[in-house]
């Protein structure tokens, strides 16, 4: 069975979480399977080879799991993009819309250098608001995002369109 099929059969649907009518895609069974988790990080690492990536950026919080592992595997630095108020140093911030309001993500202002080539990794691409805010922050810092990689994409929500020209890789698309 190929990686995509294995992921599809392992990601668990949880009905009515976090609220009625939502079907949550639970990735914890993927994380618990060492072989499958390694398969995901290997695939992400393969996608980034030859792109000149100097740092891997992960989005709070599940994106940290994959981004940190890929950064380590490639011998690159890891940069966290966190929810507002979670970073201890001077930050840049970007607001984005949610289905039910607005949120803000932040990055340390010195996390990347002007002209750096980075890759963004997260667990899910849904409406694209968080990922688009992350790309915006990285551009404000002078970095070029050469790839955005996701474990899964909820294609019916159209999030990919929010990322403009940033190339997107999703291992599983629903």
Q: What is the pLDDT of residues 90-144, one digit of tens each?
A: 999 999 987 677 999 999 999 999 999 999 999 999 999 999 999 999 999 999 9
State residue 98's pLDDT score.
77
**Whether the Cβ atoms of residue 65 and residue 41 lie closer than 8 Å to each other:** no
Q: What is the pLDDT of residues 17-63, one digit of tens each?
A: 999 999 999 999 999 999 999 999 999 999 999 999 999 999 999 99
| 83 CB-contact burial (10 Å; exposed 0-12 / middle 13-18 / buried 19+) | middle
pTM: 0.95
Q: Enter the tokens of residue 6.
A: 């294995």
Question: Which active-site residues does the annotation give?
Answer: 62, 99
Instruction: Give residue limits of the domains in the chain.
Output: 52-173
* Structural class in CATH, domain 52-173: alpha beta
**Whether the Cβ atoms of residue 44 and residue 56 lie closer than 8 Å to each other:** no
């Amino acid at each position: 069975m190929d990686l995509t099929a294995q992921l599809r059969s392992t990601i668990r649907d949880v009905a009515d979480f976090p609220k009625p009518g939502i079907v949550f895609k639970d990735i914890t069974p993927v994380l618990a399977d060492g072989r499958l988790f390694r398969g995901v990080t290997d695939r992400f690492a393969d996608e980034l080879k030859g792109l000149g990536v100097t740092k891997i950026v992960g989005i709070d919080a599940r994106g940290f799991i994959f981004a940190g592992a890929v950064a380590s595997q490639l011998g690159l630095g890891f940069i966290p993009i966190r929810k507002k108020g979670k970073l201890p140093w001077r930050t840049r911030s970007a607001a984005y819309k949610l289905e039910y309001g607005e949120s803000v993500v932040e990055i340390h202002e010195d996390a990347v250098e002007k002209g750096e080539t980075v890759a963004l990794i997260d667990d899910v691409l849904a409406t694209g608001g968080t990922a688009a805010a992350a790309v915006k922050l990285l551009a404000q810092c002078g970095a070029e995002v050469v790839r955005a990689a996701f474990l899964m994409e909820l294609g019916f929500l159209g999030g990919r369109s929010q990322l403009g020209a940033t190339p997107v890789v999703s291992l599983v698309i629903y």
